[in-house]
Structure 1
Amino acid sequence: MKIVLFSSDFNTLDEWKSKKKDLKTTMCYERSSLEDELKADREVFVIADYDSVAPDVNNLIASALIPKNLVVLEKAPSVVTGRMLVLRGVKAYGNSKMHATHFDKMIKTVTDGKIWTYPELTAFLVKTDNKNALSEDSKKLIEERLSEKESQVLFLILKGFTNDAIASELEITTRTVKAHASSIFSKLHVNDRLSLALLLK
């Protein structure tokens, strides 16, 4: 897999490159060089530094030139910015100074077709206080595809409950919760909690 690192800050690029020595990486310092990479391969994995290239990232998103796997990182990530970016197709958002193990997990998560964000943003995006906040289409989809128990698990997921908290609330095992969650993801054609929340909201 080819990873393109996009930033006008040479120190940030060097730091990111040092975290992924085992992968082929290309560095882009300006939008034109990134666009050349995207013309050659739209499947390329792009990690962008929002602190230095935010206008370029926003223009890519607005012009529908967003790469399949776009990750946006910044030094002080915010829930508001993260929500806006994820809702516009960014596959991961977080801290540009994250530890190498989190960096690896982020890349693997996105490569697996899932969305990755830091915990506070994930909780914010997933949380829905009640099922009345869902659209009629979402309610109908849930009613048609999920069993009663799966629906109960789903609504607790949307409230931001962990698997252990769901198990306690419904008086079932955590393993059973995981089985229900896996079944929900399969039936609704999503890969994770965040994708589930984005589908239903």
Structure 2
Amino acid sequence: MKLLVYSKDINLIDRYNSLFLDYKYKSVSEYSDLCYEAKKESIVVLMSITDCTDDIETFLNPLVELHTYIIILDEVPKYEICKKLITLGVRAYGNIMMDDIHLKEAINNVMDGNIWLYPEFINETVTKMRFESNPNLIHEQFKILTLREKEVANLVLEKMSYTEISEKLNITLRTVKAHTKNIYDKFHVQNRLSFILLFNK
């Protein structure tokens, strides 16, 4: 499968040129050329989100219909954009400044027919999607907690530090630690990380 780099910005090609040389790659800067290449053969297209038109769905649909595997890079990847892109058929989404090793992993995974997301972004995306698909999930599991414990638990799941929780709820750090100990005991976990992972499954 061939790699096609679609970019109006030469910096993207310059940034990863040594990596791209590992692949049989070609670069194009016009959408018509991109569609032409996609019609000729199965390709993986790598592009910056800034090179997509305002209506990203209209831009991507012809490519997805041609069974083109798409990798989109963004300066600051965002969950909402990720969700939309994956729904539209994009195979990978990550930071435009990621290390070569991660981009190579993304390209290889997509060439193998898989979906790839930047590792740190996976947990956030899966967690948000999980709770969006079942908004009552936390509410149901948190029934065993007191009102204040629920507040603290939600902030722990938002990955706030104990100090930040203390300041937000206007309670002492000692009180936050007491609440979290009770929360962890009720959910039979040892620590903060185990609690967060419990809700990231």
Identify the TM-score tier after normalising by the shorter chain.
Answer: 0.5 to 0.7
State the 1:94 CA deviation. 0.5
Tell me whether 1:40 sits opposite 2:40 in the alignment.
yes
Aligned residues: 137
Alpha-carbon RMSD across the aligned residues, in angstroms, is 2.9
Instruction: State the TM-score, normalized to the length of structure 1.
Output: 0.58
SS of corresponding position for 1:126: helix
Structure 2, unpaired ranges of 5+? 137-187, 190-200
Counterparts of 2:66 and 2:7, CA distance in 1: 16
Counterparts of 2:45 and 2:10, CA distance in 1: 16
Q: Which moved more, 1:65-74 or 1:102-111?
A: 65-74
CA contact (8 A) 2:44 2:110 kept: no
CA contact (8 A) 2:39 2:66 kept: no
CA contact (8 A) 1:106 1:116 kept: yes
After the TM superposition, which parts of structure 1 deviate over 4 Å for at least 4 consecutive aligned residues?
Answer: 129-134
Task: Identify if the C-alpha distance between structure 1 residues 54 and 111 changes in structure 2 by more than 3 Å, giving closer, same or farther.
Answer: same
State the 1:57 CA deviation. 5.0
1:49 aligns with: 48
SS of corresponding position for 2:58: helix
Structure 1, unpaired ranges of 5+? 135-168, 171-196
Task: Identify if the C-alpha distance between structure 1 residues 112 and 133 changes in structure 2 by more than 3 Å, giving closer, same or farther.
Answer: farther
SS of corresponding position for 2:97: coil
Q: Which moved more, 1:74-83 or 1:63-72?
A: 63-72
Superposition pairs for residues 184-199 of structure 1, below 5 Å?
Answer: none
Task: Identify if the C-alpha distance between structure 1 residues 60 and 67 changes in structure 2 by more than 3 Å, giving closer, same or farther.
Answer: farther
Counterparts of 1:56 and 1:13, CA distance in 2: 24
Task: Identify if the C-alpha distance between structure 1 residues 126 and 25 changes in structure 2 by more than 3 Å, giving closer, same or farther.
Answer: same
1:21 aligns with: 21
Tell me whether 1:6 sits opposite 2:6 in the alignment.
yes
Q: Which moved more, 1:2-11 or 1:51-60?
A: 51-60
State the 1:132 CA deviation. 5.6
Larger gyration radius, structure 1 or structure 2: 2
CA contact (8 A) 1:2 1:45 kept: yes
What is the percent sequence identity of the aligned residues? 28
CA contact (8 A) 1:48 1:57 kept: no
